């Protein structure tokens, strides 16, 4: 085995180029790599702590308790997609364009989000908690998780900092609250608390973040009491932001609706096992986001270069994302049967099977994030919205068919198919996007292409 690895390494070394293309010179490639490393390190630290804490909570609560908490969070996230009203993408831009109207813009966004949250809580969360919950503890968890929609209006406190490139205050507030919330969850495990206590403790992070941001705003002379609500401005903002709100909701439909359906078609314990598999699968989604942020300048600059160079850069972008996804899949899938009993406990038997199916959706998630970056640069946001709707429709339709029969395993297959439909197959449905579809198809063949590259005679 050692001789085989040594031979492969020598072959790769001999095939490495002795000179690099012009667009790699001048520190561009090292800068991209350094930026990607920093972004990844920041996310790895936070997500690593979050994953380990979540695994400890799942192990303590068991599949049933963790399933109750997971369903409540899924419903809260679906409602929260509308509570933000898509204003998080619109407001920072408007604050930059018209800083003199800052109090009016912030006040309008804050009170509009508050109104949306109250309507959603009264019209969706309360009826579900009263008539749709399977038990009293499920009802309490849903009532507590529904209050997480407060994140939408509280996030307005951070928009002014984002518009002034002072994002560090938002980061400080979020990280301090995250550490406090993590400590409280660990304390609850030590104290032997109930699942409803864990659901209530979820409110610590948004409340802490909001209080810290309020303090930072007052320090810089921004007093929320001076904010004003303008109904005409609210209408204008909503006319522009509603497609973004529906797009966020459609995305969450095919990422979270399966958990709600599993609860009603099977049991909370089945949701708990499915949720454990998703935790390990989705924790890696930060990688394509970090890669996209690092390569964005190079992709934008390539718009001014020749078509050939632009296509080469886009293809490399897709290849990198596919390569990362394959590396995760080939490493984690064979290890699942050992990871889950060790991390989550023996009560999650069967979650490893769900994971080995669901982890393959990473391939299409990574390629989809890469395509989204490319299409945002091109200005094809409406097409992306339609692709998201397609994924939601496919997900819900298939889940209605397979979840009652195959449970969590069927939901994992449905996620894989809907992700492939929304992020890959949809590229072939529209002429201008078809070249991206062929680039994605070529990226899907990265392992075969790498094998041919390694076995090709060295010139």
Percent of the chain with pLDDT over 90: 11
Q: What does the block give as tokens for 66?
A: 């963790």
Q: What does the block give as tokens for 64?
A: 């049933």
Same domain, 375 and 443: yes
Same domain, 273 and 356: yes
Could you read off the pLDDT of 23-82 as tens digits, one per residue?
Answer: 434 345 555 555 555 545 556 677 778 888 888 888 888 888 888 888 888 888 888 877
Nearest to 151 by CA among 218, 103, 79: 79
Which among 213, 229, 245 is the end of a domain?
229
Q: Is residue 26 part of a domain?
A: no
Same domain, 273 and 422: yes
Same domain, 297 and 193: no
Could you read off the pLDDT of 368-419 as tens digits, one per residue?
Answer: 988 887 887 777 778 888 888 888 899 999 999 999 888 889 999 999 999 9
Same domain, 183 and 324: no
Which among 183, 214, 229 is the end of a domain?
229
Same domain, 276 and 156: no
Q: Is residue 113 part of a domain?
A: yes
* Of the listed ranges 41-45, 330-334, 385-389, 446-450, the one predicted with least confidence: 41-45
What is the residue range of 187's domain?
60-229
Measured CA to CA, the distance from residue 63 to residue 60 in angstroms comes to: 9
Q: Is residue 237 part of a domain?
A: no
Same domain, 283 and 386: yes
| Geometric angle at alpha carbon 315, from 312 and 321, rounded to 5° | 140
Q: Give yes or no for residue 458 having a pLDDT over 70.
A: no
Confidence at 326, pLDDT banded by 50, 70, 90: very high
Same domain, 180 and 307: no
- Kindly list the distances between the CA atom of residue 227 and the CA atoms of 101, 208, 366, in Å, as whole numbers in the listed order: 10, 21, 40
Q: Is residue 125 part of a domain?
A: yes
Measured CA to CA, the distance from residue 36 to residue 30 in angstroms comes to: 10
Q: Is residue 254 part of a domain?
A: no
Mean pLDDT calculated for residue range 344-352: 83
Asked whether the beta carbons of 281 and 362 are under 8 A apart, the reply is: yes
Percent of the chain with pLDDT over 70: 80
Same domain, 302 and 214: no
Measured CA to CA, the distance from residue 403 to residue 112 in angstroms comes to: 37
Same domain, 269 and 225: no
- Residue 384, pLDDT score: 83
Q: Is residue 37 part of a domain?
A: no
Q: Is residue 450 part of a domain?
A: yes
Q: Is residue 401 part of a domain?
A: yes
Nearest to 155 by CA among 120, 112, 98: 112
Number of domains in the chain: 2
Phi, psi dihedral angles at 83 (to 5 degrees): -60, -35
- Residue 341, pLDDT score: 85
Same domain, 223 and 288: no
Which among 187, 209, 229 is the end of a domain?
229
Measured CA to CA, the distance from residue 173 to residue 19 in angstroms comes to: 45
Same domain, 216 and 276: no
Measured CA to CA, the distance from residue 294 to residue 226 in angstroms comes to: 38
């Amino acid at each position: 085995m050692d001789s085989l690895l040594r031979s492969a390494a020598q072959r790769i070394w001999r095939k490495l180029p002795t000179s690099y293309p012009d667009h790699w010179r001048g520190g561009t490639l090292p800068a991209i790599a350094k930026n990607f490393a920093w972004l990844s390190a920041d996310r790895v630290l936070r997500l690593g702590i979050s994953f380990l804490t979540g695994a400890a909570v799942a192990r303590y609560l068991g599949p049933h308790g963790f399933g109750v908490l997971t369903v409540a969070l899924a419903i809260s996230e679906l409602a929260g997609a509308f509570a933000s009203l898509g204003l998080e993408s619109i407001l920072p831009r408007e604050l930059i364009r018209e800083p003199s109207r800052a109090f009016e813009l912030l006040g309008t966004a804050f009170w509009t989000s508050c109104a949306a949250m109250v309507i959603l809580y009264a019209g969706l969360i309360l009826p579900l908690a009263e008539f749709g919950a399977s038990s009293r503890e499920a009802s309490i968890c849903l009532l507590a998780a529904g209050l997480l929609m407060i994140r939408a209006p509280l996030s307005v406190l951070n928009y002014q900092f984002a518009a002034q490139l002072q994002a560090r205050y938002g980061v400080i507030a979020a990280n301090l609250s995250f550490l406090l919330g993590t400590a409280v969850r660990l304390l609850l495990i030590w104290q032997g608390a109930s699942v409803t206590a864990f659901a209530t403790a979820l409110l610590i992070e948004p409340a802490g973040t909001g209080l810290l941001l309020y303090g930072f705003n007052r320090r810089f002379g921004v007093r929320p009491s001076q904010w004003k609500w303008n109904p005409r401005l609210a209408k204008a903002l909503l006319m522009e932001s509603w497609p973004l709100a529906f797009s966020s909701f459609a995305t969450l439909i095919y990422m979270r609706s399966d958990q709600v359906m599993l609860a009603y078609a099977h049991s909370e314990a089945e949701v708990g096992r499915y949720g454990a598999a998703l935790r390990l699968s989705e924790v890696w989604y930060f990688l394509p986001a970090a890669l996209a942020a690092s390569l964005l300048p190079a992709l934008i600059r390539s718009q001014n270069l020749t078509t050939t160079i632009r296509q080469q850069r886009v293809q490399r972008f897709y290849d990198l994302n596919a390569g990362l996804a394959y590396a995760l899949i080939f490493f984690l899938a064979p290890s699942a049967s050992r990871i889950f009993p060790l991390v989550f406990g023996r009560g999650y038997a069967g979650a490893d099977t769900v994971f080995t199916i669901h982890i393959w959706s990473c391939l299409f998630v990574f390629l989809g994030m890469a395509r989204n970056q490319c299409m945002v640069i091109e200005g094809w946001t409406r097409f992306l919205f339609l692709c998201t709707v397609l994924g939601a429709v496919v997900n819900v339709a298939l889940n209605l068919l397979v979840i009652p029969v195959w449970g969590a395993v069927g939901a994992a297959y449905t996620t894989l198919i809907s992700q492939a439909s929304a992020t890959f197959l949809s590229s072939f449905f529209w002429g201008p996007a078809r070249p991206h579809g062929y680039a994605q198809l070529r990226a899907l063949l990265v392992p075969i292409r790498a094998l041919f590259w390694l076995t090709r005679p060295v010139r």
